[in-house]
Amino acid sequence: MSRILVIEDEPIIRTELRRLLTRAGHEVSEAGAVHEAETDYALDTFDLILSDLRLPGAPGTEVIAKAPGVPVLIMTSYATVRSAVEAMKLGAVDYIAKPFDHDELLLQEERVLREGRLTRQNAVLKREVERLYSVGGIVGHCSAMRDVFDRIRKVAASPATVLVLGESGTGKELVARAIHAQSPRHEGPLVAVNCAAIPENLLESELFGHEKGAFTGAQAAHAGLVESADGGTLFLDEIGELPPPAQARLLRMLQDGEVRRVGATRSRKVDARIIAATHRDLPKRVQEGSFRQDLYFRLRVVEIKLPPLRERGEDVPVLAKHLLEKACQRLNRPPATFSPEALVAITSHPWPGNVRELENAIERAVILADGPVITPGLLSLEPGGGGAFETHELPEAGLGLEGSASPDSLEEYFRRFVLEHQDKLGETELARRLGISRKALWERRQRLGIPRTRA
């Protein structure tokens, strides 16, 4: 039995509908106008509202917004079929023309109720799937991602050090944030440090702090980022780039829970949980001698490995739709969808820059789109995933930006290079390949009006 509200000003039709629907096994309530319905009933408790379009006072379509989530079926006379179509644009699930055939009305009412039930069941299932398979806004249903969620849940409660592995853009920072958010330390700070982004000569003092006069320019004592994570979590991204002296200090902290500022004679207790991440092959670095083996073992108490996007199967279109919804909201655009061809292009692209590349391609498409449909052209995916990411390393050194070409062509070159590669490379890597500092990259972006695409 379903609860149906009939809004109709003609008493004869109202009585006829009540009889018909009651006989079909439903509980029927009646109103003669939208304002009457609103005053007499809690509209969101109905399973279906059947409303005439032309009513005294407000038209029947006004009830749609007043009863969100409840399907509204609009009744209208033949002469106003056009306005019935308008009603559907306003969110009515369907319309039925008057005078209506009883069987036809019952069929339509049953179909709407069935669809309403399915929508509600879907919403419940979606919430349940999200509860089971999604953690901290990380979307994923494939088995590798389910393992990731499982590990996040298990490790969050413990104080164990975690090493997150995965290619660039696979969501390593998101994992670290999810672990922190679910841990007993969630009210403490989460300090995220990208070890590759801090110049090597400053890294030790930035991380561990320094005493006054520890080196030229150290005019005052300074607490490091490790100390500011006291009581919380320290996320060390790109841990593979940590130079040997900083590796030694970090090891000490992991062993004894103490840090010694640069230039200090005594240590301080720090209670920070460490989560480290890298896209590098750390065992290889250990073998080569550039990463301490004892530190590696200390860091990988629990390892979480994120699969590259190209290995996540059905997650790719699901993630794409999720990111499209987010991009539309962020950019204040009406909801958009992918054309079938765009979905094919998305699922067959290798995504060397992983979720970040997908996110950027979608954001660009939303900005460029003139309507609500995203086509493959708007995504402008390079066949085979081309570009400079990982597989096609660009020259290590600078790219001759300061060379002999004219300033115009240099700027044009800079602009093209940044636009082509910013989706796949982080700012540090982009600056390194351009042969300039991160600060210089930022300044040029400002000057040339090329804002960062990453939120």
Ligand X SMILES: Nc1ncnc2c1ncn2[C@@H]1O[C@H](COP(=O)(O)OP(=O)(O)OP(=O)(O)O)[C@@H](O)[C@H]1O
Residue reference for tokens 């994992």: 175
Cα three-residue angle 194-360-356, rounded to 5 degrees: 40
Q: Does 196 bind ligand X (CB under 6 A)?
A: no
Q: What is the largest CA-CA distance in the chain?
A: 94
- Distance CA(455)–CA(445), nearest Å, equals 15
Q: Does 355 bind ligand X (CB under 6 A)?
A: yes
Select the residue interacting with ligand X from 241, 359, 423, 427 (CB under 6 A): 359
CB nearer to ligand X: pick between 93 and 138: 138
Q: Does 356 bind ligand X (CB under 6 A)?
A: yes
- Distance CA(74)–CA(97), nearest Å, equals 9
Q: Does 240 bind ligand X (CB under 6 A)?
A: no
Do the bridges between strand 268-269 and strand 273-278 make them parallel or antiparallel, or are there none, so unpaired? unpaired
List the interface residues with ligand X, window 11-50 (CB under 6 A). none
Binding mask 252-281 for ligand X (x = CB under 6 A): ---------------------------x--
Q: Minimum Å distance from CB 426 to ligand X?
A: 5
Cα three-residue angle 438-443-446, rounded to 5 degrees: 130
Do the bridges between strand 233-237 and strand 273-278 make them parallel or antiparallel, or are there none, so unpaired? parallel
Number of residues that bind ligand X (CB under 6 A): 18
DSSP secondary structure string for all residues of 199-249: -HHHHHHHHH-B-TTSSTT--S-B--HHHHTTTSEEEEETGGG--HHHHHH
Q: Minimum Å distance from CB 323 to ligand X?
A: 7
Select the residue interacting with ligand X from 173, 211, 390, 420 (CB under 6 A): 173
Q: Does 432 bind ligand X (CB under 6 A)?
A: no
Q: Does 237 bind ligand X (CB under 6 A)?
A: yes
CB 170 within 8 A of CB 144: no
Q: Minimum Å distance from CB 203 to ligand X?
A: 17
Let me know how many helices (H) and strands (E) the chain has, helices first.
19, 14
Q: Does 192 bind ligand X (CB under 6 A)?
A: no
CB nearer to ligand X: pick between 174 and 346: 174
Residue reference for tokens 């499982």: 150
Q: Does 423 bind ligand X (CB under 6 A)?
A: no
C-alpha torsion sign, points 316, 318, 321, 323: negative
CB nearer to ligand X: pick between 193 and 355: 355
Q: Does 325 bind ligand X (CB under 6 A)?
A: no
The radius of gyration of the chain from alpha carbons, rounded to an integer in Å, stands at: 30
Q: Minimum Å distance from CB 169 to ligand X?
A: 5
Q: Does 168 bind ligand X (CB under 6 A)?
A: yes
Which residue's CB comes closest to ligand X?
Answer: 171
CB nearer to ligand X: pick between 197 and 218: 197
Binding mask 135-154 for ligand X (x = CB under 6 A): ---xxx--------------
* Phi then psi dihedrals of residue 82, to 5 deg: -60, -45
- Distance CA(205)–CA(249), nearest Å, equals 11
- 185 by DSSP, 3-state: which? coil
Q: Minimum Å distance from CB 393 to ligand X?
A: 16
**Segment lying near ligand X (by CB under 6 A), choices 4-12, 254-262, 291-299, 352-360:** 352-360
Residue 95: which H helix or E strand, with range? strand 94-98
Q: Minimum Å distance from CB 376 to ligand X?
A: 21
- Separation of first and last alpha carbons in the chain: 49
Q: Does 170 bind ligand X (CB under 6 A)?
A: yes
- Note the residues at the interface with ligand X (CB under 6 A): 138-140, 166, 168-174, 237, 279, 319, 355-356, 359, 426
